[in-house]
Structure formats: C-alpha cells, structure tokens
Amino acid sequence: MPTDRIARIRIDSVRLPLDTPISDAKVLTGRQRPMTEVAMLFARIDTEAGYAGLGFGYSKRAGGPGQYAHAREIAPELLGEDPNDISRLWDKLVWAGASVGRSGLATQAIAALDVALWDLKAKRAGLPLAKLLGAHREEVRCYNTSGGFLHTPIEQVLENADEARERGIGGIKLKVGHPDAAVDLKRVAAVREHLGDGFPLMADANQQWDRPTARRLGRALDRFGLVWIEEPLDAYDHAGHAALARALDTPVATGEMLTSVAEHAALIDAGGPDVLQPDAPRIGGITQFLKLAALAEHHRLALAPHFAMELHLHLAAAYPGEPWVEHFEWLEPLFNERLEIAGGWMRVPDRPGLGLTLSDRVAGWTTDSYEVTG
C-alpha cells in the first residue's frame, strides 16, 4: 500500500457555554471564580487519500486562547508527514515548541492533534479506537460527577443522584472541601443514606485541604465506605498523598491536574496514590496517556481517567485493570452521538475511531479557525 500523507489541517477554537455556573471547593475558598464555559480546541487532519481524523482538547476558565495559538504555530509541522507515525510526530511537535516546555499548555495544544491522528488511524483500520489499542472489555464502569457540585443544594444533589441511577450510571461523586467541614460530613452522610450502603460513592475535595485537615476528615469519611477520596491535597504534594493513602482505609485518588507523564511518574515514585486519574488532553494526548497507562499497570494502580468521557472511555477500555470512567454531560452538545449507558456501565461505541462527529451547534460557538494545506 502506498504511503498516505497529511494534506490539510484545521484548528478551531470553540467556547462551550455551560447552562449553570459551576462551583467547587476552589470557588468557595476564593481561589477561583465560578466556571461558566469550557474552552475547546478541535483539530481535523485530512490525508491525500481522503481519510480524516477528529481530535480535541480543552481548558477550563483560562488557557484556551493560548492552546489555540500554540496549536496554530506547530500544526504546519505535520504537513506531508505519514499519519501512521504518531509517536515520531508527537516528538516533532513537542520539539517545534520546546522553548515553552514539554508540559502544560504546550503539550495540551499537541493533544488535539495527537487525538486526531489516533482517530484517523483507527478509522483507516475500520476499528473503534479501543479495539485499535487492544481492548480488555466492551464496557467500563461509570460514575457521575456533574450532579454533586458544592453550589448544588443537597436536596437537588439527591434528585440528581436518582436521575443518574435511572440513566444506568453506576456511581455518584460528591464534591467536598467546604470551608465548614461539618457541611461536608452532613452532605456525605445524606447522600450515603439516600444511596444505601452498597452503591458506589466517591468524594472530591479539589485540592482544598492541608495535611492535618485531610487526615482528620479522611478518618471521619472512612465510615462511609467511599470508593475513593479525590484530590484531598494540593496536586503536587506527592509525599502528602502517599502518606495519606497509608493512613486511611479509604483509597486516595489524584492526578487530574498533572500535565505530563513525568509529573505522574514523580507522583507514583513518591508512593501514592491508590487510584490514578490522568487526563489525556492535559498530558499531551493519547500517545502520552498510553505511556502513563503502562506505568500505572506496572505499579498495579487503579485507573479512573478525568473528564472527557467521549475520549477516555476508549482509553479506559484498553487498561488491563478494572477502571472507572467519569460521566459528564457537559460536552454532549458538541457531538451528534451519545454514549450508551446501562446497568452501571458505559459501552464502547462500535463506530470507527472515537465514533464522534461535530454537531451543527459547534459553528455558533467557534471563535476562531485556522487552516493550512500543503
């Protein structure tokens, strides 16, 4: 078969509005403002033979324009290249912008292009992405986060939990980290009583506790039988997370805010956590996620990728251990397709690639576009 070549690249900056301003512990403690939109970065890569791949990344609150600007600068590096050589192309892109680093915004801009290349490769093979990677399962356990934010009154949280269960979602995550710890304990107790002892329940503090508070509240939360306590400490307090994981009966989860494989490796080397929560768009895409997944498997860590279920479902399905995937309906308006959920599980689509096409609404949210051919 003759070698195909990349002939066209399109980059779109999209501002996705949220129906309700979102507040977690970082807002209640004054560190951030409520979130009103998600900045999306979309990439489409076309080849001379007529194949096309769709990829995306994102940023919350700030950083979207920076990701878009960097992607525009480096995207032409892909023109004329063989799209099969994804790992080599990732290296080429990261070195094209090496002066701004190999993590953070620089590699997050690469993520959309990297995901598009993997989507393209799977489509050329006629396989869902999970199958191309080597799936271990056809469906993945899923839990809902969007119904349990701190701005949501507890009565509404309980209604949201019921709606999630009726949809077939298999777990509920509740935000904690309120300035008044008694509020946290009261809300967790109410949700646990409502769900019953056997239903999977997680708690997420969004980095808002110091070490003494995390130990004290972690021990208080042990009695609720949580699946995990998420981000109890600053994301870069690797030693603190490791020490807390040893001190508590409840597993400790973290990793979503880290922006490279190297940062995750440092977390793992420190001895924690029990559950790793990488985010493929934040660490540079699928190419980097696969490296991290191999490292996590080597250390026998549980895996629960953060956000972007439309992408992470495929990656979680290819993990040897039994993973979780996070249900957020926020990105659904961007796509024509919906993921199938039943009995606590999210099913891997049988469509080639990611199995996604952009909805007509995306054009109205697009703030800038860039296209290059060669």
CA distance 14 to 229: 33
Residue 1, number of CB atoms within 10 A of its CB? 4
Burial pattern 12-34, b for ≥16 Cβ within 10 A else e, equals bbbebeeeeebbbbbbbeeebee
Catalytic residue, chosen from 123, 131, 173, 175, is: 175
Catalytic residue, chosen from 123, 173, 306, 312, is: 306
Give the phi and the psi of residue 16 in degrees, each rounded to 5. -90, 115
Residue 92 appears among annotated catalytic residues: no
Which tokens hold the place of 294?
A: 């191999």
SS3 173: strand
Are the C-beta atoms of 274 and 309 separated by less than 8 Å? Answer: no
> Per DSSP, what are the bridge partners of residue 142?
325
Which tokens hold the place of 234?
A: 């600053």
Residue 123 appears among annotated catalytic residues: no
Which of 269, 201, 262, 221 has its CA nearest to residue 241? 269
Angle of helix 286-298 relative to helix 105-125, nearest 10 degrees, comes to 90
Active site amino acids: 175, 306
